[in-house]
Structures are given as structure tokens and as C-alpha cells.
Amino acid sequence: MSLFLTFEGPDGSGKSTQIQLTAQFLANLGYDVLTTREPGGTPIGDQIRTVLHNVANTAMCAPAEVLLYSASRAQLVHEVILPHLKNGGAVVCDRYADSTFAYQGYGRGLEAEMLHLITQFATQGLKPDLTIYLDLDPAQGLKRKQHANSAGAGEWNRMDRLELDFHQRVRAGYLEMAQTEPERWLVVDATASIETVNQTIRRRLEQYLIAPQ
């Protein structure tokens, strides 16, 4: 049985570490695991990512932003995710359409109905089986990321520069989405230790694999 798992969470929430650990866990269960990320994950998507994250692109309007994220996603679904799922594999994706609902919807204030239409078109209707949200106070997350960035690690992008209010709206959006669709979401406190967060994720995955929704 194929599995499509996505991770969401603010900058600096420890997402990359948890993705690695989870991919390893699934591989140990015998899955052929593919990890990828958004925006990007394909040669075309990586080019779109450069445009999206360039801090010089301050003139980018919100509709252009949402269409670029969606274009990257369309390419990723078509070229990478769907073929792997069709072969019965597991795909672990660092961000997916919920990022668009959170950042461009709750954050930028774009209409949810429009975002759903665009997303449906871009993804061919593909939804994750499970979505893990690593919940962290944005102020704390940005501080962690700024710190990593000044130490030469990580990337400081156009979205990171938006005001704290924006990131608070994004967080509230994630929590609301998770509440509306609890069978798909797992919200984890990202301030807990790496091992505790990982155990919580593993437990939920085991539950899902025994009795898929």
C-alpha cells in the first residue's frame, strides 16, 4: 500500500530532522521511501523556487506568488509523487498544498475557495494520507532560523522577512485546518525533544498503517 505523508511547520521547527527520522522508520518497515520538498523537488520546481525565494523580488504580487508555488507543486506531483505512489512507494514531502492554504490563504488573505480550485488543478486532486504539523511559536522559530542563518546554515527567504503578525496568522491557520480534519492531521509540540516528537509521529503512523482512514 502506498503512503503519502507531508510535513508542515514554521521555520526552525526541526522539520528536516523529523523528516529524516520518519523516512528511516518507514524504510525499516520495508517501504521504498522517497523524500522531497516544496517548492522544488524537480529541476523545473527548483528554478521556480529561486524566483519565489529571491529577497529582491519584493514586487511579486500575491496571485503570482500562489501560482508559482502551485506550478512547482504541479510539476512535482506529475513528475515525482504520483509515479512513486503508483509503484506502491511512500512519499515524504517537506510542505505541500497546506502551506498554500496557510501562507497565501490565512497569511496573505487570499480567498480559500480560489486556492482550493487552483490546488485541485495543480495536484490532480492528490491529497496526503497524513500530515504532520510541527507547532512552534513563530517568534521562536524565526529566532532559531536567524541564528542558523548567521552561522552560515539554512536560507533566509522572502517569506521569512514578513512581519511576525503574518506568521501568527499562518500558525492559527494550521491549527484551524488540523481541527477541521483531525483524521488527516497530527499536531506535535515542536519544543519537545527530538526523540519525543519522533515517538509521537511513529505512534500515529503505526496507528494509520494498522487502520488507514
- Per CB under 6 A, residues contacting ligand TYD are 11, 15, 38-39, 69, 94-95, 99-100, 103-104, 155, 157, 159
Q: State which residue, 103 or 133, has the beta carbon closest to ligand TYD.
A: 103
Q: How many residues does the chain have?
A: 213
Q: State which residue, 32 or 111, has the beta carbon closest to ligand TYD.
A: 111
Question: Do 181 and 213 meet the contact criterion of CB atoms below 8 Å apart?
Answer: no
Question: Do 205 and 131 meet the contact criterion of CB atoms below 8 Å apart?
Answer: no
* Nearest distance, CB of residue 107 and ligand TYD, angstroms: 7
* Nearest distance, CB of residue 3 and ligand TYD, angstroms: 20
* Nearest distance, CB of residue 206 and ligand TYD, angstroms: 26
Q: State which residue, 100 or 198, has the beta carbon closest to ligand TYD.
A: 100
Of 14, 17, 11, give the one whose Cα is nearest residue 149.
Answer: 11
| 189 vs 56: CA distance, rounded Å | 34
Q: What angle do CA 128, 134, 139 make, to 5 degrees?
A: 135
* Nearest distance, CB of residue 183 and ligand TYD, angstroms: 22
Q: State which residue, 168 or 209, has the beta carbon closest to ligand TYD.
A: 168
* Nearest distance, CB of residue 205 and ligand TYD, angstroms: 21
Q: State which residue, 95 or 169, has the beta carbon closest to ligand TYD.
A: 95
Q: What is the DSSP string of 77-127?
A: IIIIIHHHHHTT-EEEEES-HHHIIIIIIIIT---HHHHHHHHHHHHTT--
The three cell numbers locating residue 14: 526541526
| 13 vs 57: CA distance, rounded Å | 25
Q: State which residue, 69 or 185, has the beta carbon closest to ligand TYD.
A: 69
* Per-residue burial over 42-58, b = 16 or more CB atoms within 10 Å of its CB, e = otherwise: bebbeebbebbbeeeee
* Nearest distance, CB of residue 30 and ligand TYD, angstroms: 28
